[in-house]
Chains A and B, each alone.
Chain A
Amino acid sequence: DAKTTQPTSMDCAEGRAANLPCNHSTISGNEYVYWYRQIHSQGPQYIIHGLKNNETNEMASLIITEDRKSSTLILPHATLRDTAVYYCIVRVAGTQGGSEKLVFGKGTKLTVNP
């Protein structure tokens, strides 16, 4: 699975959009971009994933650049409960020649301030 690079930490004001970047310059054509978050002492929570098109769900939007070398997770109206570590993961979907395991890097510690 390709490696990802994320900023160590970010701050965001409550009610504002939080834009979390991720670089994945060595991504392969069959690798998806996944985002999870982990609130302290809880299990990771799936947020969203995509291959090449931008994706949106009830939690967030995922913007993937045309060359697929980077992406941005957008939380449109951040709340205090969005304070967590956000992980960007690049992997081959399912078992299509890829590994079963999820490899979490250091992630970005997002702090939403009142």
Chain B
Amino acid sequence: DGGITQSPKYLFRKEGQNVTLSCEQNLNHDAMYWYRQDPGQGLRLIYYSQIVNDFQKGDIAEGYSVSREKKESFPLTVTSAQKNPTAFYLCASRMADTQYFGPGTRLTVL
């Protein structure tokens, strides 16, 4: 079954801890993206990668880090430097001109 998976669906962490969100796709898409969505707000781009071993900062990259060692995987680490990490995180991949989204991970920092 093809698609984009994100795990876990819900994640709770204590303040000051780093946490890594998983994003995997078996669609053979080259480009992948991480967005953040806050309640009642639109999506904001954190990082994106157009190809393996390459990635670019989006609009709100501070406090986040990514890696792209495999085409299928684009994990996002939320570091303790991120001032307000509680949010809904969305991963997407792109084929041709269209981005397709995963189900999202809701991160709550206590």
A94 on interface, CB distance cutoff 8 Å: yes
Q: How far is the CB of A82 from chain B (nearest CB, A)?
A: 18
- Whether B45 pairs with A42 at a CB distance below 8 angstroms is no
Chain B contacts to A: CB under 8 angstroms: 4, 6, 31, 33, 35, 42-43, 45, 48, 50, 56, 58-59, 88, 90, 92, 94, 96-104, 106
- Whether B98 pairs with A46 at a CB distance below 8 angstroms is yes
Contact-size category for A: 10 to 19
Question: What are the 10 A-B residue pairs with the smallest beta carbon separation, nearest first?
Answer: A43-B101, A93-B97, A101-B45, A104-B42, A94-B97, A43-B104, A44-B101, A104-B43, A43-B103, A100-B48
Chain A contacts to B: CB under 8 angstroms: 32, 34, 41-46, 49, 93-95, 100-106
CB-defined contacts of B90 to chain A, threshold 8 Å: 43-44
- Whether B104 pairs with A42 at a CB distance below 8 angstroms is yes
- Whether B58 pairs with A101 at a CB distance below 8 angstroms is yes
Instruction: Return 18 A-B CB contacts under 8 Å, by A number.
Output: A34-B98, A41-B104, A41-B106, A42-B103, A43-B6, A43-B92, A44-B43, A45-B101, A94-B96, A94-B97, A95-B50, A100-B50, A100-B56, A101-B35, A101-B59, A102-B35, A102-B45, A102-B92
CB-defined contacts of A103 to chain B, threshold 8 Å: 42-43
Q: How far is the CB of A9 from chain B (nearest CB, A)?
A: 14
CB-defined contacts of B59 to chain A, threshold 8 Å: 101
- Whether B102 pairs with A43 at a CB distance below 8 angstroms is yes
Partner of B100, one of A46, A104, A105: A46
Tell whether A102 pairs with B103 under 8 Å between CB atoms, given A43-B90, A44-B90: no
